[in-house]
Chains A and B, each alone.
Chain A
């Protein structure tokens, strides 16, 4: 037994090492490019903070989508819809009451932020149920159509002037207050800063102030925002670890085994006595709740939220992250999220900045004509290259598309290759422990050890 246990532990250690090594490489590359760019310490810390932020949100989203697609085979291309429901319901619940000061056009219910987060997750899950009930009994492609249509309906609903402001009862006596979703002009998230409230709640505000002081020694001018975004990034990575822990336990269980069977062949699962509808609905709702939470985490510290943030392309970003990492693997999802955030999402702009800083080229042509004509008339490629470099923001989607096509052709199973994440709560190797099952389980620390390992890997 101990043999199997050590093997599992060693294997797991490798996964944690993989994630940690990947993060180290990414951070190293960003630090080096920061040096090339001649960033100040402030600039370096800022760039690391925003990198960490995007790694965190894309890793959580990829993990949630992996539960849907990688495990259960549910083709959800409406990820943004669930994110939007999450943050909007959270704002609805947690924004202060209208008229309690501030510039907001509409208020909320004024409930504490944790209540709002919980409400946002539950709303996303319930919304998932509403979407899933009719669609899950149909073929996979119908679910895809329903989810993407739904995500657009959500966006247009929040854009609509109907829900811009309305009266809503907020006391048992029936007093109403002015609430709403703000319509196209967006919704100001004027609740107290969630991170500071959280730090206060766990009694670490002293440590936080100390950290601000410490960073203040290096960055004399207004260090608080830097510390704030860095700490928020670390909290996000902690949440990635929590997602990982939860989904690993979900996958490595009889429940996860049925999900996998549904993905492979639902008829077989049904013929073996599994009520697959129940499993699909539970899996879908859990994934939707996690997407809702990811939406909340992405936006609650941004000060405001507008419906057009939730365009379908964000959903496809998450899909690319999942495909990069390899659908079906939780470790792959985290790594795919990190690679997508660092290379495809933030990378092109960084590349542009680095090239500009290193070569110090002149002004880029302002439009396509001046960019292409020197190339045609005198074989001078420089204006065209400059123009291309200058348009990197716009080319980002093209780069993503090319990366996606290349991956589907050459490495459809993701960067980790074919993964074997066994769907069972115990190692399935034949063991001498077969004679003493209870002793075996007591001495087998696999699942919990895994969760801790992630935390260690993710928090680097």
Chain B
């Protein structure tokens, strides 16, 4: 699973994701106000900020679920501003959701089998016509192997036959990340992947993320837990009231007066 990803990664630049002057208004509220930042390849970058800082809106803008009012988003050298979410996902920039959005009435296996790109059987005629369906089934068998490998990697293979809706909050988070990985992403945007996850599971998830980062994946992580960000990210971006307040290493962030004020509610 990991090897093919590292090999297929195009060597475009060291900053796959570049945001410039991103702005989004909802009525009179400017949720994101001219945010600019970059994410370095093969790193785990943290995006933090108090509630309402515009983190989730930024995610929605990057992944095409919202269109920005101004600004550009560049991924692997291509302008993806305002592209359709499925286009962006197919380029290798894949997100998870703040509240895990499992497909409840589908089993864990179905959830996982959905994710891979380029499935031949997604064209109706190939799935239905006798004769060509064989090729669909062969591909399904290959995908199934990958799915089981990934389930094992995340230690949720015992839940494979379960309906996703029956999973616990933490298990859903695992499922979502596993599902996102199966799309062969280059970069993952994780929106609070640890919310509602117990400490044991949280540590395991973090281990997985570090493993994957070592394999060459790039992560942008939204998280509330400062300690977690400080201990795990090499680079941290702080958002406040829609703007980028500051960025730097965890040590720099920790000692930044503005950040402390934003978090302790100076002018909020």
Give A contacts to B, CB under 8 Å: 246, 249-250, 253-258, 260-261, 263-265, 267-276, 279, 282, 286, 328, 420, 422-426, 428, 430, 433-434, 437-438, 440-441, 444, 447-448
Contacts and interface: CB of A to CB of B under 8 A. Distances in A.
Interface residues of B, number: 47
Nearest to B182: A272
Contact of B101 (A267, A276, A420): A267
Contacts of A256: 127
B114 A258 contact: yes
A428 B113 contact: yes
A332 B44 CA distance: 48
B110 to A, nearest CB: 6
A260 B105 contact: yes
Nearest to B122: A254
Given A264-B105, A425-B140, A438-B138, A274 B124 contact: no
Given A249-B127, A270-B86, A441 B138 contact: yes
A433 B141 contact: yes
Nearest to A435: B145
Contacts of B3: none
B94 A426 contact: no
Task: Tell me what chain A mostly uses at the interface: helix, strand, loop, or mixed.
Answer: helix
Contact of A272 (B115, B123, B144): B115
Contact of B86 (A255, A257, A264, A274): A274
Nearest to A440: B141
B138 to A, nearest CB: 5
A274 B109 CA distance: 18
Given A257-B114, A265-B103, 14 more contacts: A250-B124, A260-B105, A261-B103, A261-B106, A264-B103, A270-B89, A272-B115, A273-B86, A422-B109, A424-B113, A428-B113, A437-B141, A437-B145, A438-B138
A441 B114 contact: no
Contacts of A263: 105
Given A253-B121, A265-B103, A273-B117, A426 B144 contact: yes
Contacts of B210: none
B110 A423 contact: yes
28 contacts: A249-B133, A255-B127, A256-B127, A260-B106, A260-B110, A264-B104, A264-B105, A264-B106, A265-B103, A270-B84, A270-B85, A271-B94, A272-B115, A272-B180, A274-B86, A274-B114, A423-B106, A424-B144, A425-B133, A425-B137, A426-B137, A428-B109, A428-B110, A428-B144, A433-B141, A434-B141, A441-B137, A444-B137
Contacts of A274: 86, 114, 122
Contacts of B114: 257-258, 261, 269, 272, 274
Contacts of A433: 141
A267 B144 contact: no
A129 to B, nearest CB: 14
Query: Top 6 A-B pairs ranked by shortest CB distance?
Result: A253-B127, A437-B141, A254-B121, A273-B89, A264-B103, A254-B119
Contacts of A422: 107, 109-110
Interface in B140-156: 140-142, 144-145, 148
A82 B157 CA distance: 45
A89 to B, nearest CB: 23
A2 to B, nearest CB: 15
B109 to A, nearest CB: 4
Given A261-B106, A423-B106, A250 B89 contact: no
A264 B134 CA distance: 28
B127 A250 contact: yes
A251 to B, nearest CB: 9
A249 B145 contact: no
Nearest to A431: B144
Contact of A275 (B86, B97, B101, B144): B86
Nearest to B180: A272
B60 to A, nearest CB: 10
Most buried by A among B107, B144, B180: B144
A53 B94 CA distance: 51
A441 B65 contact: no
A257 B113 contact: yes
Contact of B140 (A254, A265, A275): A254
Best-surrounded residue of A253, A258, A274, A279 (most CB of chain B within 10 A):
A253
A34 to B, nearest CB: 40
A264 B113 CA distance: 15
Contacts of B145: 434, 437
B57 interface: no
B121 A273 contact: no
A255 B86 CA distance: 16
B179 interface: yes
Nearest to B105: A264
Contacts of B127: 249-250, 253-256, 425
Which residue, of A258, A273, A279, A282, has the highest number of chain B Cβ atoms within 10 A?
A273
A276 B86 CA distance: 8
Nearest to B118: A273
B120 interface: yes
B162 to A, nearest CB: 11
A271 B89 contact: yes
Contact of A255 (B90, B122, B137): B122
B112 to A, nearest CB: 9
A320 B122 CA distance: 30
Nearest to B121: A254
Contacts of A441: 134, 137-138, 141
A30 to B, nearest CB: 35
B121 A271 contact: no
A249 B130 CA distance: 10
Contact of B144 (A257, A420, A434, A447): A434
